[in-house]
Structure 1
Amino acid sequence: MYLYDYHPWNSGQNPKIDKITNTLLNLKNTEYKRRQPAVRFFFKVLTNRQITKLLDTSPKIFCVVPSHSENNVSAGLIELMGNIKETYCFENDENYLRRTRTVPKAANGGPRNQQLHIDSIEVTCPEKIENKTVYLFDDITTTGSSLLACKRLLLSAGAQRVVMVALGRTNDD
């Protein structure tokens, strides 16, 4: 599932850039002050009664798709997970996916294939996801290759089910 359309930045030259696109980009920002309004916005969206009605009572955890660089994950997404943890009844405080080596950034023209991600991401604590529902979050998805690769890794590591949630999906229209 994805929540919003994302219009690529294209060095600020895309006339379709909107408030949601800017909010998604701010969620990725390294500056806490710029990131926090985006975290608050997506907290409200993800704790909306309509979305939380979809939750079941099974044990569940969250995972965040790692960024393209080794040992890096979006600080904004991790903060967001910490904020929605109680509403979603997540059992974990940390991400169980880790990028083991830097790969070319897809947004800059890097390859968009699942195998690249499967070969460079690991499940760090498979015993903690075994027989659990995993909510897998990504900030922006374009082809879905990183989400699908992480889903495959999590299922192979013993997750019972993986629910994929992208906050934004690239829309080039």
Structure 2
Amino acid sequence: MTDSTQPQAQQSPTPDPALARLADLVGTWTIKGRPLGADEDNIRGETTFAWLEGEQETSFFLTQDMEMDYDGQKIRSHELIGYDPKAGTFASLVFSNMAPDPWPYEWDVDGDDITISIHKAPMDATFTGKFAPDRQSFSGGWRPAPGADKAVNAPYDLVATRSG
């Protein structure tokens, strides 16, 4: 017979092992880039990825805090990235000074390859990039989906270098 007056140990959920695929992003990165066809970098910024950890040092979410100057336009954002095991995807919401509502993104990190996409009007673009072998930088570019408004989804390339 169990004594119902004794507190029961609560079983804590454990993070999905797929989250480990995001681990190489953790840290602070300096970003520089340029729109396609530009002769010089006019995109500069910094982004920091960190696990949203609890008391048990477990995390179900990766956060990203970013500040960027895109040719004079200041962009700030906060993002939460999590794993949806039913869909097998890394979904995120980005809260920024550019929109009155959060924007949904989808991530994938598979070996050296990084893919980020957004499909919420007017945004419809995908970032495709690669980590350097030493994992201290990654590079790639954002490209609009076919038929997307290129004025809103301007194609550009970037390099992110680990700075912390």
TM-score, normalization: structure 1?
0.29
Higher strand share: 2
Higher helix share: 1
Flag the structure with more relative contact order, 1 or 2, with Cα contacts below 8 A and sequence separation at least 6: 1
TM-score, normalization: structure 2?
0.30
The structure whose Rg is larger is 2
